[in-house]
A and B are shown apart, each in its own frame.
Chain A
Amino acid sequence: MNDLVERAHAVAAYWHRGQLRKSGDPYITHPVAVARILTELGAGDDTVLICAALLHDVLDDTDCPQQDLRAEFGDEITDLVLEVQGFAYDTSQPVSERCRTLKLADRLHNMRTADFLPAEKARVTARETLEVFVPMAHQLGLGKMRDELDALASARRGPGGLAFQAVSTGAALLPAHARDRYVEEWQSDLHRLPGRRERLLYTLQLLVGMPRLAAALRTPLSAPRALTGRCVRWLLRSNLRTWAVLTPPLAWLVLDAGSRSEALTLLITIPPLLGAGVEWLRARLKR
């Protein structure tokens, strides 16, 4: 590795010491990941770009004095860091290609780790990504990055408020491995539906079917039913028993929700959903 790059890493690690990402990782993992993304893009030989990537948050987020940076890394790197820091999405002022490439790598890593953001913040970031960064990656000819940003952001932005929220919340009933896939699939359906009424109807139907879908995904077909069946029947015979089983995970889900609004959505959507599932199971087991 280049000496200057190594110095940039040391300086960034020094100033970000003790800071944490939302994921709980040490903050320095973020600039390092951004530099790695740039290297993978083939910019590994551009020392200025890689150093600026490692240092891109030290002026904004730490007490690192600008003149120290300038003294050690020179004007080109420092000015690039300043340009990246002052980058505004909505002005038409000219932005250097390096700055745009760095911002894209920054955004890509943030989107890859967006699971740790509160839901609403993730949604805003996703919309901004689709509006600004996906076209920017396209302009710069970075097809692979464009597609990854597009997929990451599309999965998080949702076509419109309530339907999106309800669908993602309802998907909490599905097995973890299937959740993201169905949420993305349904959003793509929702995106195609023209009106609020249609979207609402589509969503309600989905929510009603959710317990059955969860069951279909968990036991693809004729799983051993005898013993499980008897236990389930016994549980379902009384409301008390049923809810004694369902309440703890529900409470856990609500307490674990990222924000108050998310918790509220969960409380509003899940119990009727579970209720519908229970009714359906009872009807089905009577047959």
Chain B
Amino acid sequence: MIGGMSRIVRTMTTLIFGFILVYGFYVIAHGHISPGGGFQGGAIVASAFALLLVTYGTDQIQSYLSKDLLSILESTGLVLFITFAFLGLGATFFYNFVSNSGGLFGSPTTIGVNPGDLNTGGTIALMNMAVGLEVLAALGVIVLTMSVAAETIQKKEKQ
């Protein structure tokens, strides 16, 4: 098999892959109240994709990770980000119009030392999710393309 790794590495990958994904999405969702954010969480999710590609090789993974789908997700993230920025244009560009509105991510922030409420932050949380979607898709496309290129060269040399 071209590009795969040993049985030990494959077993560990199947065990660990889900946990890395959940941790990455946790970092994205808690970006406005704890260290990390869209970029860091997206990089963690993309490193899970890289782990899959390193372990199993491109031939088995390409049916799960489609380059076209990742490109569409990347564009969607960027469009969502700039849409949230323009929606605040009633006051200013990037105005936080969701904060203190009472809806999703809209409850008022408590003053003083507290453990942090996830349901605050307004557009900061929504923009973190948009950036996270963009970064995980973009880094996923980069890793996928490099893996395909490397294995194409490997196949050519074997012939």
A joins B in a complex: no
> Residues of B with Cβ closer than 8 Å to A?
none
A residues bordering B, Cβ < 8 Å? none
